[in-house]
Structure 1
Amino acid sequence: MNKLVLAYFLIIINNINCRTEEDEGVKYANRCEVCKILAVELENRLEETGKSHDVIETGYAVDDVKPKKKKEYKKSELRLVESLEGICEKILEYNIHKERTDSTRFAKGMSQTFQALHGLVDKGVKVELGIPYELWDKPSAEITNMKTQCETMLEQNEGDIEDWYFNLQGKVPLKHYLCADRVLDEEESSCLSEKLKGDNGKNVKKNKSEL
């Protein structure tokens, strides 16, 4: 093999090794995006469970001499445990909105791109995406990767979340306490302030998952 051919093959191998996720049309979530959505989903879940006025009993009563302790469910550890259960599974309800460039690209609801493509299919237009039509609405690589990142981040920061839950819930937003102050470096936290905007530059009506 002469030197010219060898150099050619080395260039090809180097280009393959240097290909990034963007080259493949995929851009995975960064730590800021993962933490932001984890915080939003957990606060949403706590808002739901916080509506309960149930009272739970703890401890063991012996011959009814020593009564069990009673505690409001919304202030209990049980509420936190139940709220955290499956929280990262909620990310599978998200879609990637590739028409957006910031953290709002991860949001619930069908993206404008896929709305348009489904519209074409409904009109009888043949659309080839390289994947079967029945897989169009399945979680994308970006979404499944974000779920995995969420599970790791949750496992690594359960203590901080517990501290916030018992001491600062309702006083400090979780995305500030957990993400800005503990998980992220200052240069990583820019996505925390990003919000979905309309064409006129004003915030449009949105659900909390897009904050």
Structure 2
Amino acid sequence: MNSRYIAAVIVFLNLFTGFKAETEEDAGVIYANRCEVCKILSIELESKLDETGKISEVIETGYAVDDVKPKNKKEYKKSELRLIETLDGICERILNYNIHKERKDSTRFAKGMSETFQTLHGLVDKGVKVELGIPYELWDKPSAEVTNMKTQCESFSNNMKVI
């Protein structure tokens, strides 16, 4: 009876240790850390500020019933309105990024197609059947890492607005 019990325990342990819970990191999904999110957010913020910095409009604020008082004037490019408009929707721009898994540093998030996907698209264009386990239509959609970075950006941006 002891040998049957020991054999059953050994079989159970072999079965139990054979089933390994796979984490996202085991599957190759490594999310952006705070530094990477901040870096991409600052790049996009600077880019959007450069786009809006070319506007030379003047904003007039204040009002009066008789319009005798002069209105306050402020350059748009130095206004709080510009900053608010720039921050609005800034995290959506992160979806233009792709993950470049061949890189290991903060440059793994970059605009443009990764070398791996350029090669895979080239093979498909030549008629080679490529099976990745995901439909071809989803190849160019934002990855889990990029959508998670957008979520982190929104959280970061909301915390910034509270301050």
Tell me if TM exceeds 0.5.
yes
1:63: Cα distance to partner? Answer: 0.9
CA distance in 2, matches of 1:44, 1:89: 13
1:66: Cα distance to partner? Answer: 1.5
Retained in 2: the 8 A contact 1:88–1:151? yes
1:112 and 2:115 equivalent? yes
- Across the aligned residues of Structure 1 and Structure 2, the Cα RMSD in angstroms comes to 1.7
User: Structure 1 segments of 4 or more deviating over 4 A?
Assistant: none
CA distance in 1, matches of 2:162, 2:79: 15
CA distance in 2, matches of 1:90, 1:104: 16
1:3: Cα distance to partner? Answer: 2.7
CA distance in 1, matches of 2:76, 2:124: 49
1:157: Cα distance to partner? Answer: 2.3
Runs of at least 5 residues in structure 2 that lack an aligned partner in the other structure? none
CA distance in 1, matches of 2:138, 2:57: 42
How many residue pairs match? The answer is 157
Match of 1:131, SS state, is coil
CA distance in 2, matches of 1:70, 1:9: 75
Q: Which moved more, 1:80-89 or 1:44-53?
A: 44-53
Retained in 2: the 8 A contact 1:97–1:112? yes
Residue identity over aligned pairs, in percent, reads 72
Match of 1:152, SS state, is helix
Correspondences of 1:154-193 after superposition (within 5 Å): 154-158=157-161
Correspondences of 1:25-174 after superposition (within 5 Å): 25-158=28-161
CA distance in 1, matches of 2:65, 2:80: 23
Structure ranking higher on relative contact order (CA contacts 8 Å, 6+ apart): 1
1:60: Cα distance to partner? Answer: 1.4
Structure 1 residues 9, 66: CA separation in 2 closer, same or farther (over 3 Å shift)? farther
Match of 2:98, SS state, is strand
Match of 1:157, SS state, is helix
Q: Deviation digits for residues 114-153 of structure 1, max 9, x if unmatched?
A: 1000001111111111111111100011110100011011
Q: Deviation digits for residues 151-205 of structure 1, max 9, x if unmatched?
A: 0111112366xxxxxxxxxxxxxxxxxxxxxxxxxxxxxxxxxxxxxxxxxxxxx
Q: TM-score, normalised by structure 2?
A: 0.89
1:12: Cα distance to partner? Answer: 4.8
Task: Answer with 1 or 2: which has the greater Rg.
Answer: 2
Structure 1 letter corresponding to 2:82: R
Q: TM-score, normalised by structure 1?
A: 0.69
Runs of at least 5 residues in structure 1 that lack an aligned partner in the other structure? 161-211
